[in-house]
Amino acid sequence: MTQQPLMILVAGPYRGGTGDDPGRIAANHRAIRQACLELFRAGHLAVNGEDLALPLAGLAGSTRVGDAAFDEVFHPMGRRLVARVDAVLRLPGASAGSDEMVALARARGAAVYTSVDEVPAVAR
């Protein structure tokens, strides 16, 4: 059977372990985006809640990570995404939000991977 492209939510630390330091948050966000690129290059559709939630949080009036407008959008976006994806790629690092996304994915029977190498290759 030929593996079709999957829609995969990349879940990894965003704020976790950063003490809300902007430089460390940016490094975490870059790691999430890098995993998305690797999955894209492997033939899959990778999504991450950060790139969808952050612009909306800004429009909602967020001025800093963790304020009310940020919280209104950030984790709820991930929860909505995980309900629609085929799988979750859980990146390493402490992250309560990412752990929640994994639990939600498993509860609905979606695949959970812990490295890009575990994701089935797309037939070309």
pLDDT at residue number 124: 60
β-sheet bridge partners, residue 56: none
Backbone angles phi, psi at 119, to 5 degrees: -70, 130
State whether the Cα torsion 14-46-120-27 is positive or negative.
negative
What digits encode the pLDDT tens for the residues 69-95?
A: 999 999 999 999 999 999 999 999 999
pTM value is 0.93
**Mean pLDDT across the stretch 98-119?**
97
**Mean pLDDT across the stretch 54-75?**
97
* Angle ∠(10,65,89) on CA atoms, nearest 5: 10
Domain 7-11+27-118: which CATH number of 3.30.2320, 2.60.120, 2.60.40, 3.40.50: 3.40.50
For residue 2, what are its two tokens?
């030929």
Q: Would the pLDDT of 96 be above 90?
A: yes
What digits encode the pLDDT tens for the residues 4-19?
A: 999 999 999 999 999 9
Backbone angles phi, psi at 56, to 5 degrees: -70, -40
